[in-house]
Homo-oligomer: A and B are copies of this chain.
Amino acid sequence: MREVAVIGIGQTKVEEHWDKSLREIAGDAVLLALQECGMDSTESIYVGNMMSGSANHQQHLGSYIADWVGMRFSEAVHIESACSSGSAAFRAAVMAIASGSINSAIAVGVEKMTDSPGSEITSQLATAADADWEADMGLSFVAINALLMQRYLHEYGWDKDDFAGFSINAHANGAHNPYARFQSPINKSAYQKAPMIADPINLLDASPMGDGAAAAVLVPVEMIKRPGQKMIKIAASAAATDTIALQSRKDSTWLTAAEKSVIEAYSQASVKPTDIGVFELHDAFTIMAALSLEACGFAERGQGPRLAIENQICPKGRIPVATRGGLKARGHPVGATGMYQIIEVVQQLRGEAGETQVERPVYGMAQNIGGSGSNIITHILKAEHF
């Protein structure tokens, strides 16, 4: 199996891109990534996206994006696994290069959600859940996560306010990221006063939708010829599923798919949790941040919120998370999110994360969650020359 590295990254700001189409947003990220490493094309393109078929009346995003960025004739395909579509596209690129079938690839995650009214997007987001047994019963995606959080509060005796730290840390970090949707810090009082969306999830527990794209150029390590070429190795890539409906799980407050994929990833990279210098986790809701930290071995079961309370998740803490704002403040353009996580880990490993730079990380981890924990993909990246 050939080793694979990221040599170029690109992203757009997450916001409401009224003046740009889906292909323009994706194209901007792809061209920036190519430009950064001095390439003008790759053999294949893997496009992560969740809802363009309904939100933008456009499927077939592989050909659509390849054509737009001047790479017609390249191989191109669209990959979807709800909110983990971005990292699923990245993983497909990694495996294609590792197989020897191709020698260069772009993975790009893109989502343009603000073309449609919010009510339509809410119903499209619910297609990540079980149509028959969740969505058709009236559960929105926020409602599913609210049930989960309610159960967690009940089981472990936390107060809702104990989750404030996740949101405060994300917004504090996002304030230093020019690509973040929200760039203002918040305080605990703002969190406490935020309007309730689906009890106990309030506005500051939930990540905002938005339009955005993030891209990375991947090549086999053996083909990197330029001395001094920036290179971040993929040390591990692993994925696992769980039931699509939350109600089908015997244990709803434990992310089994996260545990399975992270155990496999730690094994591939020959590392343990304490080796991970930065962790871009999937804080679509604050409860998901807590559950990820637990499943990945950074907190005991039921103790995820303690890391936020003790502020161990800030850039100088024991396990920095959401260092560029996370889903909460950078924004959550669903199919793009996994690729934002990847390139943010790359920024950290390169030492290019500015005011929120973590000190000397060698390994960085990105974990992307599709559905209510039903499709979880974990990547560990490694800085080769820091």
Binding site for B on A (CB under 8 A): 1-2, 21, 44, 50-51, 53-54, 56-64, 66-67, 71-82, 88, 92, 95-96, 98-101, 123-124, 126-132, 135, 237-245, 248, 256-257, 260, 370-371, 374-375
Which of B82, B96, B101 makes the CB contact (< 8 A) with A60? B82
Contacts of A53 in B (CB 8 A): 51, 53-54, 124, 127
- How distant is A158 from chain B, measured CB to nearest CB, in Å? 28
Contacts of A67 in B (CB 8 A): 241-245, 248, 374
Contacts of A238 in B (CB 8 A): 75
B57 near A80: Cβ-Cβ < 8 Å: no
Most buried by B among A54, A88, A131: A131
A81 near B80: Cβ-Cβ < 8 Å: no
B101 near A81: Cβ-Cβ < 8 Å: no
How far does the alpha carbon of A138 sit from the alpha carbon of B238 in the complex, in Å?
A: 43
Most buried by B among A1, A131, A241: A241
Given A1-B99, A63-B371, 4 new contacts (CB under 8 A)? A58-B131, A60-B80, A63-B244, A64-B130
How many copies the complex holds: the figure is: 2
How far does the alpha carbon of A2 sit from the alpha carbon of B71 in the complex, in Å?
A: 28
- How distant is A265 from chain B, measured CB to nearest CB, in Å? 12
How far does the alpha carbon of A66 sit from the alpha carbon of B240 in the complex, in Å?
A: 10
A257 near B73: Cβ-Cβ < 8 Å: yes
A62 and B77 in contact (CB under 8 A), knowing A67-B241, A132-B21? no
- Interface pairs (10), CB distance under 8 Å: A1-B100, A58-B130, A59-B82, A59-B127, A60-B370, A63-B375, A67-B241, A74-B241, A75-B241, A77-B81
Contacts of A126 in B (CB 8 A): 57
A241 near B76: Cβ-Cβ < 8 Å: yes
How far does the alpha carbon of A238 sit from the alpha carbon of B241 in the complex, in Å?
A: 28
How far does the alpha carbon of A221 sit from the alpha carbon of B374 in the complex, in Å?
A: 31
- How distant is A242 from chain B, measured CB to nearest CB, in Å? 6
A62 near B131: Cβ-Cβ < 8 Å: no
Which of B50, B76, B248 makes the CB contact (< 8 A) with A375? B76
- How distant is A137 from chain B, measured CB to nearest CB, in Å? 13
How far does the alpha carbon of A375 sit from the alpha carbon of B71 in the complex, in Å?
A: 12
How far does the alpha carbon of A58 sit from the alpha carbon of B245 in the complex, in Å?
A: 12
Contacts of A132 in B (CB 8 A): 21
Contacts of A50 in B (CB 8 A): 59
B75 near A240: Cβ-Cβ < 8 Å: yes
How far does the alpha carbon of A61 sit from the alpha carbon of B53 in the complex, in Å?
A: 14
A63 and B1 in contact (CB under 8 A), knowing A57-B131, A99-B95? no
How far does the alpha carbon of A60 sit from the alpha carbon of B256 in the complex, in Å?
A: 18
